[in-house]
Structure 1
């Protein structure tokens, strides 16, 4: 049974994918869990399947795209479970975009509200208290899609590049306070978000493997970590390619389905 003094992790997007995989790994390590999801019933079913005792976890219904909603969830966590040791903003949207389509401009707005504003709002309730305590870790989940713009991924690549830049700014702001900021850049992880991708996904890894490596990176306080490392080298290579070469290589790549065509 998890001790009431066990460390606490706060995770958004906990009903599926990377968020749920991280919750599983932290539970296995004996941490207490504060889980955020819109689909609370799915989290409750997952916790029951894991055999978690009720004292080990709590779930907070919130939509990270709604600032008041996610801020309230953070405040409720502090009131009910205490100040987390680690906060992981893993909730996100990954949908294709076509700028020629009017509906996709609204998609861009919605995606940024979740992937960027929602990430900052996730951190907001905890930052001042962590600084006052003198320790804590804030984790932003970006993507290797942040490193270069991918065709059909204009909204997603832009949002994840913004996650990297935002977390870097916050990391510098927190220097000397005891609060660490970790930026994770997953490559291709087998989740519902990647299941519909109509293109090859090199170094595709199970979500559980990602969670194991991510937990180690968070514990080490890594400021920036690409997982798996092989995708880090691929991304570095793409970054140094001249634009004309990059454009030619990527122009024939399959496009991620748009929201209207994704069902």
Structure 2
């Protein structure tokens, strides 16, 4: 009897980076456990791509609600088994103005999705992965987590937290032979970035990102910025004196706030 295909669990799989990663893993012969709030989009995509029924399953969950993503993970464990790779990809990006009371609620939603949601995605899998002493947990951060950008404090703070959280988790998991990989995308052409009103150097197609991400995850890298050009930019930003950094960003357009965004 042939061994079962390996399984990857991906949140935010209905579009953008998550969908591109799902396709790349499918091409590599993996089974897919795909999570999104709009599960019907996953189902339509799987049908369009001609995925065989045994090669994928979709689970409805809002990662900002811990009980929902935990329930989805438990369904996955019961129906498909233990994933070899868990990718906490789901995230939101919205501009904020701290002077506006309504944007405090936006901040809470960003952090609930991008931070608590990431930890809740990993939570159900840690004990079984530790018990089997294998597997990889992948956190999708961002190059925006390197320095704070005007009008983008919620997202930048959340992605800085992803980088630090995954670094902490990596140390905790190392004795158990469970890898923790942090990926920091630069600008990727997805619904999250298409409304940006500022320049986006080294903009990548999601498929190109997915290819590089797949290789990085397979290699078990600790932290990688994709594309490599943005990695150089990130290194420069880390050491740039504050006064120079402030001058560089002077006059930069702010990220769209919730009230300024086009409907999804």
Match of 1:203 in 2: 202
CA deviation profile, 1:20-68 (whole Å, cap 9, x unmatched)? 1100110111100000011111000100111100000000000000000
Runs of 4 or more above 3 Å deviation: none
How far apart are the structure 2 equivalents of 1:8 and 1:199? 38
Match of 1:82 in 2: 81
Q: CA deviation at 1:239?
A: 1.4
Please list every run of 5 or more consecutive structure 1 residues that lacks an aligned counterpart in the other structure: none
How far apart are the structure 2 equivalents of 1:99 and 1:159? 15
CA deviation profile, 1:70-103 (whole Å, cap 9, x unmatched)? 0000010000000000000000000111111111
* Residues 1:98 and 2:92 aligned together: no
Q: CA deviation at 1:4?
A: 6.5
* Residues 1:130 and 2:117 aligned together: no
List aligned pairs for 1:209-248, cutoff 5 A. 209-248=208-247
Match of 2:43 in 1: 44
Match of 1:116 in 2: 115
Please list every run of 5 or more consecutive structure 2 residues that lacks an aligned counterpart in the other structure: none
Match of 1:251 in 2: 250
Q: CA deviation at 1:251?
A: 2.1
Aligned length: 261
How far apart are the structure 1 equivalents of 2:145 and 2:47? 36
SS of corresponding position for 2:33 = strand
Match of 2:25 in 1: 26
List aligned pairs for 1:169-184, cutoff 5 A. 169-184=168-183
RMSD: 0.8
Match of 2:149 in 1: 150
SS of corresponding position for 1:189 = coil
